[in-house]
A and B are shown apart, each in its own frame.
Chain A
């Protein structure tokens, strides 16, 4: 197996996801199949090949640090599951 059950549980923790035991078994199997398929890439020697992270050679584009219209606090908070004044409310953490 490319990926163990324990590794799947660890990755789930990193991804902030919870699974039932059955789901962990199913995902372990499916992820394993996919990772075995992906092994294929090792047939290619890429030692001297630069990585492509974007399809075009665009350079970083900067703008002047000037203010321009953006969402108002009211609009930005419209979809908040819980809010108070101009703030998002989250469960107590300390």
Chain B
């Protein structure tokens, strides 16, 4: 291929076609990405670790494989991984000082599956420490910048993944989503991001934050890429006891179909107060476009939406406080120096190793699980979780999927909300209920605001109906047309 600079603009499916036809080699593509990372990443700061040597070796392997006639959709395609996914022999930091020098002795199941397809890993992407945050400002190392406006946050916690895809320093990426951590940065970075149904993708090797809510998912340039990447990572895994044993359909077969009377619910509680005008009008335009093209739009109600954030901020920190007790300086990770005895070693290690937001959530979770408070907090929140899930299931008796905003505002300025944790938590109001109910949700670029900032639209489907999201998402994407050229940088 004569002009290598255009390679980084291609989607997975475009690149895959060229690779299969041997019009370009994986080595050429990988080199193009590594060059662009060197040129652009100092501005965006999406990567914690770039694995150039390993990537080039994997690319050569992929080229051999393609030459032998063994080509799969991701063979030779350069992908970035959120630094919460264990990668054998490659540091996995969770953007935390406590895991700064941790090199996992095994691969997460999703990593093993992508390797098996011959994907090329470019490196590990920045995030909020232990995936706790909505802006990537909680990384212990550095904040990532939004490629559309470098003084703004890329969203979080998978901010490095969102920024890398938008900045074209990864063809696609994996993120993880506990309360919106894939969909919100996808919205803020103008890319597609899906949180699959809880159980659809194995969590083995995903560093645990809140085990009943965490889910790994794709972040891509378009919906077709999302379907391709989901095909590769989805499916039963005996190493994850909550993994779903049912069939995995070919998600690409849901692409590009007519809407044909699809019933799309508009939950009235997701509109109105607290949502910025530019966001609301963009979502309303998306709704009209779908209606004009064959969808049946129905107003529905999710009456307990306003309780979701409160329930989440009991459940997620409670699970986190329990999961993070493992960081004690004994088996792996940081061990502080200068301690007096065993108890002091635990305290010094954890106090030096964790950042403020992680400590805040450990404290909140420890408090709500402590003796005498369990019924008032954790049990109460788990009951409210049932009510929120029932709201969704009732809505799905009247419609095939829901359409909502992803975030109430476009990406805000770096530093704007760091001093007010509660305000930061409230920005996840439209994504958190989906995790509590264990549903699949997708964020798709919808518009740019007057200031040129991306706004995403969210579709939510019943459990294990990711195919519905791919169907409505790809059709919407086609009707919408291109939003804007990728940011120059």
Contacts and interface: CB of A to CB of B under 8 A. Distances in A.
A81 B335 contact: yes
B369 to A, nearest CB: 9
B77 to A, nearest CB: 29
A37 B422 contact: yes
B347 A18 contact: yes
Contacts of B260: none
A51 to B, nearest CB: 4
A43 B311 CA distance: 12
Contact of A30 (B102, B329, B334, B360): B360
Contacts of B362: 15, 17
A80 to B, nearest CB: 6
Contacts of B106: 71, 75
B379 A55 contact: no
Nearest to A75: B105
A28 to B, nearest CB: 10
Contact of B436 (A55, A88, A92): A55
Interface residues of A, number: 50
A90 B342 contact: yes
B370 to A, nearest CB: 6
B102 to A, nearest CB: 6
B350 A58 contact: no
Interface string B413-424: 000000001100
A53 B212 contact: yes
Interface string A27-66: 1001101110110111110100111111110101101000
Contact of B241 (A15, A18, A61): A61
B335 A82 contact: yes
Contact of A51 (B334, B348, B383): B383
A41 B389 contact: no
A18 B338 CA distance: 14
Interface in B210-239: 212-213, 238
Interface in B269-319: 304, 306-307, 309-311, 313-314
Main secondary structure of the interface of B (DSSP, over half): helix
Contact of A90 (B310, B330, B360, B381): B330
A49 B343 CA distance: 40
Contact of A58 (B199, B307, B330, B363): B199
Contacts of A33: 421-422
A16 B311 contact: no
Interface in A61-94: 61, 63, 71, 75-76, 78-82, 88, 90-93
Contacts of B267: none
B102 A15 contact: no
Given A37-B422, A38-B313, A17 B347 contact: yes
Contacts of B354: 17
A25 B306 CA distance: 29
B253 interface: no
Given A15-B363, A17-B347, A49 B389 contact: no
Contacts of B341: 91, 93
Contacts of A12: 363
Nearest to B238: A63
Given A37-B310, A78-B105, A46 B335 contact: no
Contacts of A63: 238
B115 interface: no
Instruction: List 8 tightest A-B contacts by C-beta distance, closest first.
Output: A55-B438, A79-B332, A81-B335, A51-B382, A46-B383, A75-B105, A15-B366, A49-B383
Given A41-B310, A41-B314, 4 more contacts: A15-B362, A37-B310, A55-B437, A93-B341
23 contacts: A11-B366, A19-B351, A19-B359, A27-B359, A27-B363, A34-B364, A35-B367, A37-B313, A38-B377, A41-B314, A46-B380, A52-B382, A52-B386, A54-B438, A55-B213, A55-B436, A55-B463, A56-B198, A75-B106, A78-B103, A81-B329, A81-B333, A91-B339
Interface of B: 102-103, 105-106, 197-199, 212-213, 238, 241-242, 244, 304, 306-307, 309-311, 313-314, 321, 325, 328-335, 339, 341-343, 345-348, 350-351, 354, 359-360, 362-364, 366-367, 370, 377, 379-387, 389, 421-422, 425, 436-439, 463
